[in-house]
Chains A and B, each alone.
Chain A
Amino acid sequence: MDRRDFIRNSAMGAATVAAARLSLGKEGLAQAAPTEGDGLTWSKAPCRFCGTGCHVQVGVKGGKVVSIQGDAKAEVNKGLLCVKGYHVGLALYGKDRLTKPLLRKNGKLEPISWDEAIEIIAKRAMKNPAGFAIYGSGQWTIPEGYAANKIIKAGLATNQIDPNARLCMASAVTGFLSTYGVDEPAGCYDDLDRADVVILWGNNPAEMHPVLFSRIVDRRSKGENVVVIDLGTRKTRSSGFCQHVFTMKPHGDLAIALGIMHLLVESGTYDKEFVEKYCNFRQRTDPPTLDGKAMTFEEFKASLKEYTPEKVQQLSGVAAKDIRLLAGLFGKKDLRITSLWCMGMNQHTRGTAINDLVHGVHLLSGHFGKPGDAPTSLTGQPSACGTVREVGTLAHGLPGGLVVAKDEHRKEAEAIWNLPAGRINAKPGYHTVDMWKRFSTPKSKGGDIDTIWVQVTNPAQSLPNVNALVEPSRKDPDKFLIVSDVYPTRTAMIADLVLPSAMWVEKNGMVGNSERRTQQWFKMVPPPGDARDDCWQLIAVAHKLLELGHPGMKDKDGKWLFHTEKDGKEVPIWDWKHYYDVNVDERLFEEYRKFSRFKHKDLAPYQEYVKARGMRWPVVQQKDGTWRETKFRFSKFDDPYVTKGDVQFYHSVTKDDRALIWFHPYEAPPEVPDADYPFWLCTGRVIEHWHTGSITMRIPQLHGAMPQAYVELHRDDAKALGVQNGEIVVLESRRGSVELPAWIDGRGQPPPGSVFVPFFDETILVNKVTLEAHDPLSKQPDYKKCAVRVKKKPPKVAAVGKG
């Protein structure tokens, strides 16, 4: 019996049980009163929030979501959720859902029809395609991102598309590309069940990836021993579960990784066999590139020489003995060590470097390629991997890990999309910070982006230095901002055109989580009012462009880019009434799937994902016709694409099946506290809220537990400033300031001279204060460190009287 039969039989079994119940009910269950469970159906969906990718069971009754359970069949979360996940059903029902398209007329947003809205967008793109950009998201579903990417890359042929994921995991991507030649982790969450040691590199999973964190620490309840080590710039909820908490200075991670490598090499405890078989050494060039230039082991060793434990202590603030402790752990071959990281290493002006170095520590010590022994990066959004990294919704990317700059990649894409040769533009579009800078610069001064269509994200709150990147565009009549969203976010409220979107289980969807797992769900409830799917919005605009005569909307045979047939007849999917006549998600996914073979990121047919709680790519068809997922990439025991050796990096940059161990020197952050701005500022999240809080702040239970942003102050600093708990302080950088209440010994504990502010609160816009300096390769900004001053807000002075 294959899986499909099993499921069909189970469904039949359930029907039989139900029928039996009904027949019994006639006699035996005469007194059974109607219960709350009557009419309730349960269906699977991945959670809407973070990149962990938990599955939930959604309870639907009367066309509304009424209940959520953790999905017991899901391997990721095994029936457990976090406080956001349990409340994800409430995401749909905030009272101020957007339900009508709105156009700004004389400064006021006023309702218009969908037809008008779609036409306005298409005409902006028609008038100046080169200045028309789409700013997307790691919360886009895979089909949404794919449709947007196709419109921009195959249709307008401008490459002006970039996602908010640029702000959250671009450095992880460049780290994987420069080390392995191909993106995304080799390991998976199963590593967390096997690791003896877990190192948190600037990571607070107890709040940010709670289900994965309890997957680690709950092993202790079963009597297992797992050592968790916290390397962070402040103490967090995770720290309390750790055997070792090493508080480092900002950028201390670079020094620590170099210090570990130095000791491994000096003491000879590095894994000689692994390094000789599977690794090359690399150093960077000026200007830096992903390929760098070769160096010998001897040169590598010499470069590390200065990073003695004592020097590293000086640079990082972590004691020399603790550096030795870490190096000692990596020097032990029988231990299994997993490194976890997320924003701490990615939102870093040396993000690519620190990602390379942590991969390098694992490769150098041979802690790679066995379950529990892996460098594993985590993502913050539900489809940062699925939609952004795999569909390639980046200014330089194409689906399946291809890039616009390479001739052969463009040719492959043109073949799949059936485009005339040369349609795809070889020049990458603008990355996020650049795109918004140009949008906020007048046309006369080189601001060549005049329209941005934002979907599923909230840049007016989440971009760094919003005063410079967003605000100026709102005063420039040439600039037109379109926002598709579900709530009146900060970005929606300053937009020129607002489109109401369907969200989560109000539409079909697919996403991909941090461990290469692709997930699928079906629409379960109708969206409110006139809200419509983001994917439909994109397709409707593409069809309007076709009607307006844009030549790029046709393939080389003159067919529309999104031409869809059923039973030999065209289905007008651009017409909302007919959008669900076919499963558009399935059609787009089947087309997109063709791209997944180039980089061995093989995806199975859509229907396989319908049956599963997600599958990890490469998903390869077996001789018996079944589809098998891959847990551990590059390792012979699990990865079907390994053809020689125990480990094979088959996308190696150096084309010799070897990964690269990089040397990057320690470098200080671009802005360091001084006499005028004496504090470090770090920004981040709390467990209750997700991203800009546009959803979670509308959920009473989450809002109740954390209704407002705050600044965490160390007790000594608070004393010196004369600030008490709850008192309002002014936090100011060279770019802007915010006023917010102080919290001493609060959720986290920054060391003296350092403060922390969560960014979820749109009323306290900490991104007026942050710095837009970014990594030279990944272009990802650093939200984790800049210099600020903090002072107690002076009491309101009464109007001066006559005395």
Chain B
Amino acid sequence: MDRTVHVGIAVALFTTAAGFFGGIRGTAADTASISTHARPVASTVASARSYADARARRYGPNAGMYDGVFEKMAEDHADLNAPVNQTDEDRAATLAKRASRRAFDGAPPTIPHRIGQQGPLDCVACHGTGLKIGALVAPKMSHQQFSSCTQCHATKDDPRPGAPAVAKPDNEFAGLKAWGRGSRAWDGAPPTIPHPTAMRGDCTSCHGWFGGQGLKTPHPWRQSCTQCHVPDAMNDQHPAAGLSAVSLESGQNLGPGGALP
């Protein structure tokens, strides 16, 4: 065994011991009775008697920040075989939320939170594996090979602190909506993939653990999605699909105001 394992065991033993002895010293209720503060948070505001206590007894405005977080995270990694209960309403709600963050289906979503403005960002800290805490979801990125995140993703809101509000522009673009469900050859056949797969290399981003309710796969234990679900070559820039075929003939006469036939 190497040195790190020894050190690890020593730390673990110490933590267990410190936690045990720290734990038997008294409860939050005990310490609350000796607090001189009358504020509602006072029950958790107390000087920790040991570093082990400090972890459990946070104080200040964010004292409750981590309450139950780890339990919630564990909940979301529930049994792979647990049934997925989702309704059409769930699906509609998820799609509506999705649509609110995109100019059209397939556009890179805007960032609904503050980000740092300079340099490479730590987006992967949450979006690398995906993260869900209660209702808050950081979707897993489905194109991990790219590193300049702000190349495609802009913040939804003005990133400048304290900046004056400016009216939004009026634009009549009506973008492609979510593509609807894939087609099934018969009842029970695996549906086709109804949307382009470019930049969507990881199906679990939307259909996996942290996917939106209504879009989740009912069989999360399966790994090879395209074994059963096929994309649409026409919408997926497949070489055989004759993309741009409509543009190949020269001198098309669209007419001065005409559109493509």
Contact = CB atoms under 8 A, between A and B. Distances in A.
B171 interface: yes
A218 B148 CA distance: 8
Contact of A90 (B171, B240, B250): B171
B260 A41 contact: yes
A583 B247 CA distance: 13
Contacts of B110: 701, 704-705
A753 interface: no
B247 A700 contact: no
Interface in A604-627: 606-607, 610-611
A17 interface: yes
Interface in B237-261: 237, 239-248, 250-260
B46 to A, nearest CB: 36
A207 B155 CA distance: 14
Contact of A522 (B150, B174, B252): B252
B41 interface: no
Contact of B179 (A14, A35, A222, A526): A35
Given A63-B259, A67-B105, A746 B160 contact: yes
A703 B244 contact: no
Q: Which of A65, A704, A749 has the most CB of B within 10 A?
A: A704
Given A44-B244, A524-B260, A525-B259, A214 B151 contact: yes
A269 interface: no
A90 B183 CA distance: 30
A702 B173 CA distance: 14
Interface in A691-718: 697-708, 710
B119 A239 contact: yes
B40 interface: no
A95 B237 contact: no
A94 interface: yes
A586 interface: yes
Q: Which of B105, B147, B257 has the most CB of A within 10 A?
A: B257
Q: Which of B158, B163, B174 has the most CB of A within 10 A?
A: B163
B169 interface: yes
Contacts of A113: none
B-side interface mostly: loop
The size class of the interface chain B forms with chain A is: 35 or more
The size class of the interface chain A forms with chain B is: 35 or more
Interface stretch (B22-30, B75-83, B184-192, B222-230): B184-192
Contacts, number: 307
A436 to B, nearest CB: 29
B145 A83 contact: no
Nearest to A93: B173
A84 B191 CA distance: 33
B118 A749 contact: yes
B154 A706 contact: yes
B157 interface: yes
B59 interface: no
A313 B146 CA distance: 37
B156 interface: yes
Contacts of B239: 10, 73
Contacts of B154: 83, 687-688, 701-702, 704-706
A37 B108 contact: no
Given A67-B104, A703-B168, A14 B161 contact: no
A33 B164 CA distance: 47
A72 B198 contact: yes
Nearest to B179: A36
Contact of A93 (B146, B151, B172): B172
A61 B153 CA distance: 25
Interface string B128-168: 00000000000000001111101111111111111110101
B259 A708 contact: no
Given A36-B105, A83-B154, A725-B161, A580 B255 contact: yes
A700 B102 CA distance: 10
Interface string A223-253: 0000000000001110111000000000000
Contacts of B84: none
Contacts of B152: 80-83, 86, 210
Contacts of B232: 37
A729 to B, nearest CB: 12
A96 interface: yes
Contacts of B254: 522-523, 526, 580
Interface string B88-108: 000000000000000111111
Contacts of B251: 582-583, 586
Contact of B242 (A10, A66, A71, A235): A10
Interface stretch (A24-32, A104-112, A464-472, A553-561): A24-32
Contacts of A33: 180-181, 183
Contact of A727 (B107, B162, B246): B162
B60 interface: no
A61 B176 contact: yes
A64 B175 CA distance: 9
A543 to B, nearest CB: 16
A717 to B, nearest CB: 17
Interface string A206-217: 100011011001
19 contacts: A14-B242, A28-B185, A36-B176, A36-B180, A36-B194, A41-B246, A67-B176, A92-B173, A96-B170, A218-B147, A220-B147, A239-B119, A241-B147, A526-B257, A610-B247, A611-B248, A703-B169, A741-B163, A743-B160
Which 4 pairs, one residue from A and one from B, show the smallest C-beta to C-beta distance? A240-B119, A726-B162, A14-B242, A705-B154
